[in-house]
Amino acid sequence: MARLSFREQVLRVREDAIVDAVNRLLADKGFDLMTVDEVAADVGIAKASLYKHFASKEALAAAAMVRLLQRTLAFVEQQATHAGASAYDRLRAVTRWALQLQLAGEMPTLPSQNSSLRAELMANKAYLDLLMQVSDKLGEWILQAQAAGDIDPALPPEVVLYTIYARGCDPVPAFLKAGGQYGDDQIVDWVLSTCFDGLRGPVRRPAGAGN
């Protein structure tokens, strides 16, 4: 790999700082409330300098999503090396990690409906490639977990996949944390339980039933 010039290294460091700032602001305020001026101020550069790296607010959000998917893929690949873990265990581990990331303020939040942002993401090859890699691996584990009876085989795999993805932007952890009554670990355990085990408690046997 060719060594980066000093100028290229400086640009790379600045871009990393910009994406870090975008990630924090998206996690804290969301896409609609985040402004390019805030990003530039957070990094300590002029807005004109920021636009030399990223052409729009949508491009900034796309860069943050690429960074998130890179981290996600690295975690997924790490889970794949755990030979003793079942597919179900790996899916729970990935979901737990996403919930922990959200509570730590490191999960960017994007609107579900925004045409300009969607167009930016669909035109970003790095984003699409990473999303496909993560989805393929999770989808493989979902099918294995269904075959093992650990996840309801009647559910379409994409329903399970989207349910897992949705935990990254689930409002429940933030609401519980804001109440100040529960710690992060307890919140993660509860949300993880409702995701994988549902809200129904242990089935009670009728009085007088046999052992």
Q: Which residues contact 96 (CB under 8 A, 6 or more apart)?
A: 188, 192
The phi, psi pair for 188, rounded to 5°, reads -60, -45
**Domain ranges in the chain?**
6-197
Mean pLDDT (whole number) for 167-186: 94
Of the candidates 14, 30, 20, the one whose C-alpha atom is nearest the C-alpha of residue 64 is: 20
CB 82 within 8 Å of CB 26: no
pLDDT tens-digit series, residues 13-72: 899 999 999 999 999 999 999 999 999 999 999 999 999 999 999 999 999 999 999 999
Mean pLDDT value across the chain = 91
* CATH class of the 6-197 domain in this structure: mainly alpha
